[in-house]
Structure 1
Amino acid sequence: MNLTNCPCGSGLQFSNCCLPYHLKTKVAPTSEALMRSRYSAFVVANADYLYETTHISKRNNNSKSAYLKSAKNTKWVKLEIVFSAFDVVEFKAYYFNKKFGTEVLHEKSNFKLEDGKWYYVDGEFYSE
């Protein structure tokens, strides 16, 4: 997929933003950078990256095939960071639902830093 602007909404080009994390040429330096790169991975259906950046204690609940199915069945529209701290990121991810139009996934995600790498652990969803 050839993207100019990064799907994460940083304003940078994809090749200079999240793509280096997806290609493993760089490691996300913060939990927010990891969250943004995971959002971009959903947009481009990069299930390997989503699986590999999920904390090992949670991988049994999140298979590569489940990530791929979710990514391919969702038309992601926009990412909005609501709050970001050391290991917590609250965000709103907007997506298009054929039946209901644009909807929002609002989540407070927890991350863990291990051996210099950030991992997604879990999240708490909010109803809009």
Structure 2
Amino acid sequence: MQCPCNSNKKYSDCCQKAHQNINSVASAEALMRSRYSAFVLANVAYLQKSHHSKTRPSNSENKEIEKWTKSVKWLKLEVLKTTNGTANDTIGTVEFKAFFMENGAINIIHENSKFCIENNYWVYVGANNECN
């Protein structure tokens, strides 16, 4: 199947590798793409693992996230800008738009996400949080 992150790759050659081994994720953008794919596939375990420990949702929040992500139709991901977040960095940001259909209307999540290295792999911190 085509990877949900719109990378023009097959899922098995793209985000599936991250979903199976988070340590294989080499950049903030790759982690962001793999998280989008996890939302599309309702892979809440990966969303939890790829979230910074200080901002990670609770188990009850994860149940709501899973319910919501299964209730919408994910349409596409657009990466707008990446700042740092390479193998040589410990922090980075990725601005993106995630398009989805909910209750017959197209909605957009537009975020400039922050990422950092925690436990030797990239994690999502949030839109307005610092890495420490």
> What TM bracket, shorter-length normalisation?
0.7 to 0.9
- C-alpha distance in 1 between matches for 2:29 and 2:19: 15
Does residue 1:69 correspond to 2:89, yes or no?
A: no
Does residue 1:48 correspond to 2:45, yes or no?
A: yes
- C-alpha distance in 2 between matches for 1:60 and 1:27: 23
**Does the residue aligned with 2:54 lie in a helix, a strand or coil?**
helix
Which stretch shifts more, 84-93 or 17-26?
17-26
Does residue 1:32 correspond to 2:37, yes or no?
A: no
Deviation string, structure 1 residues 20-53 (Cα, Å, up to 9, x no partner):
1111275210000000000000000000000110
**Does the residue aligned with 1:8 lie in a helix, a strand or coil?**
coil
Point out where structure 2 has 5 or more consecutive residues left out of the alignment.
85-91
- TM-score using structure 1 length: 0.85
User: What is residue 102 of structure 1 aligned with on the other side?
Assistant: 106
**Does the residue aligned with 1:12 lie in a helix, a strand or coil?**
coil
Cα RMSD (Å) of the superposition?
Answer: 1.7
Tell me if structure 2 keeps the 8 A contact 1:88–1:111: yes
Point out where structure 1 has 5 or more consecutive residues left out of the alignment.
none
Tell me if structure 2 keeps the 8 A contact 1:39–1:79: yes
> Which residue of 65, 89, 95 maps to 1:90?
95
Aligned length, in residue pairs: 120
Tell me if structure 2 keeps the 8 A contact 1:95–1:104: yes
> Which residue of 16, 20, 23 maps to 1:19?
16
- C-alpha distance in 1 between matches for 2:114 and 2:40: 21
List structure 1 runs of 4+ shifted beyond 3 angstroms.
60-63
**Does the residue aligned with 1:77 lie in a helix, a strand or coil?**
strand
Residue identity over aligned pairs, in percent, reads 39
**Does the residue aligned with 2:116 lie in a helix, a strand or coil?**
strand
